[in-house]
Each structure stands twice: as C-alpha cells, then as structure tokens.
C-alpha cells in the first residue's frame, strides 16, 4: 500500500525553523501498530494521521514512543496540508481528537488553532522539578500532564540544560520553562518531555494552552505574542478566549513523498 506523506515546519516563518511534523492523510485508519511504526521510522516529535468524517476529520498524533492526547504543531501541519495540498479552496476544518473537537481557520498565511485552555495548580514535587530543570525558578506549578516552572528572565530559560534522567524520574516527566518576554514578544518558553521520548520539543502548541491563560492574567491583556526559544525557535500569535486558547502561526512545506507499507 502506498500512502502520501508530507513534512511541514509548523509555527515557522521560514524553512528549518519551528517544529517539524509529518502528516499522513488516510482514507481509513491504519492499525495502531502500523501508525506507531511509521512514527518511529519518521523519528520526528510528532506524526499526524487524519481521516475524513461526516463533519470534519478524525486526527491522531504519535511520537516515536506514545500516542498523545493533544498536539498543536502537528494540528497546524495537518491543516496546512489539507488547505494547501489537498483542498486549496478550504479555509476552515474541524478535527475530532482525544481532546475534543479542534477548529482550525486559515487567514492568509496564518493558521488559527482553537484549543481548550488548561489551568494551573500546585505541584506536589516542586524541588525535584527545579533540580531537574536547573537554574532558580521562582515557582513550579502543575497543569494537566506537565509542570510549569517560572523564571525571572528569558536569559535564564535559554541557558537551561536540564538533567533528563532527573526530569524523567518526576511524576510526569515533562516540564515547561517560561519567563516574561523581551523585545517583540510577551513571554518566552521551552518544553522538555523525556517521558514522551522528546528531550526538547522545538515549538509546543499544547503548552500554550497553559501559558496563554497564565500570562494573559498576569499581564492584563488577552492578545499576546509568544516565542519558544528552542534552538529552532518559533512564534505564536495567541489570544486568551476564556475556556479556549487561540494560537496562530505559519507553516512551511519541507517534504512531500510516499510511504510503502
């Protein structure tokens, strides 16, 4: 069987930036073992698979280790493929996922993702998380399936060299590091997820479901520009919409080909 495959740099203003995701459009679902094997072979942070449904598309995301319940950059990449390669006249799509229905709207080069917001609560093991990340976070909280460590400056976040074994030994094994912004953005972040088989994710949409409500409240504004300061880097144009978080970014097509399974 021959399957199409695309690789898209998501949340990227140029090629070789943002977060690369593979996208495999399907007519019907493949066996889960096959989708996992394809994700392992691709060796990217995420491989997305989508199938047509009556009122949209079913969408699933796989890392080389696990299937994840929510992924921003691979959703943007899927919408990019759908709206530029498969149905160029389309400007809106609804994806049905393990995190509910996710809407994506295209406005020129920007793809706006409508995602569920996530709140914060006290972390049970803040000292262990701080030791794993390094530096001197001023606070460590917890959100759904990951920690969030707050630092005072963007320079501190950029300088982090986490101990992945120590982070993996924490309850959730994944953490956001964030700080107030600098010129051109309202806040910065990085994301480390060894428990998902990803030491550092270049640009992480799902983390902004936590970051945007937090920084919107702290800064007293609903529209924010975010910068993920990984080596590749990426920019997200965000809006706090109460129970929903809107994040927009661009996509860049890197690769188009076929898989033989």
Q: Report the alpha-carbon distance of residue 9 to residue 52 in Å, rounded.
A: 23
- What is the sign, positive or negative, of the torsion defined by CA atoms of 117, 121, 126, 130? positive
How many Cα atoms occupy the beta-carbon half-sphere of 138 within 13 Å?
A: 9
Strands (E) across 28-81 are located at: 46-53, 56-62, 67-68
Cα–Cα nearest to 259, from 71, 25, 15, 21: 25
Residues near 26 by Cβ (< 8 Å), separated by ≥ 6?
Answer: 3, 49, 50, 51
Active-site positions read 46
Alpha helix ranges (H) inside 99-258: 126-133, 154-159, 164-168, 205-219
Cα–Cα nearest to 106, from 65, 66, 78, 68: 78
Cα–Cα nearest to 8, from 165, 203, 193, 169: 203
């Amino acid at each position: 069987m021959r399957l199409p495959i695309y690789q898209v740099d998501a949340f990227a203003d140029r090629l070789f930036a943002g977060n690369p995701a593979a996208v495999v459009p399907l007519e019907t679902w493949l066996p889960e073992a096959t989708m996992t094997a394809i994700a392992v072979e691709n060796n990217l942070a995420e491989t997305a698979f989508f199938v047509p449904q009556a009122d949209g598309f079913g969408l699933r995301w796989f890392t080389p280790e696990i299937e994840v319940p929510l992924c921003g950059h691979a959703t943007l990449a899927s919408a990019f493929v759908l709206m530029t390669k498969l149905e160029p006249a389309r400007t809106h799509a609804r994806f049905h996922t393990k995190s509910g229905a996710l809407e994506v709207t295209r406005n020129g080069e920007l793809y706006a993702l409508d995602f569920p917001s996530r709140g914060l609560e006290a972390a049970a093991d803040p000292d262990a998380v701080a030791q794993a990340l390094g530096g001197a976070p001023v606070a460590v909280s917890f959100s759904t399936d990951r920690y969030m460590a707050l630092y005072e400056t963007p320079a501190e976040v950029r300088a982090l060299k986490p101990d992945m074994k120590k982070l993996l030994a924490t309850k959730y094994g994944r953490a956001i590091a964030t700080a107030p912004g600098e010129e051109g953005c309202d806040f910065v972040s990085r994301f480390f997820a060894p428990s998902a088989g990803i030491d550092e994710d270049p640009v992480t949409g799902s983390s902004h479901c936590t970051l945007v409500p937090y920084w919107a409240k702290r800064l007293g504004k609903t529209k924010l520009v975010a910068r993920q300061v990984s080596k590749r880097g990426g920019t997200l144009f965000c809006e706090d919409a109460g129970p929903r978080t809107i994040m927009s970014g661009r996509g860049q097509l890197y690769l188009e080909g076929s898989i033989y399974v």
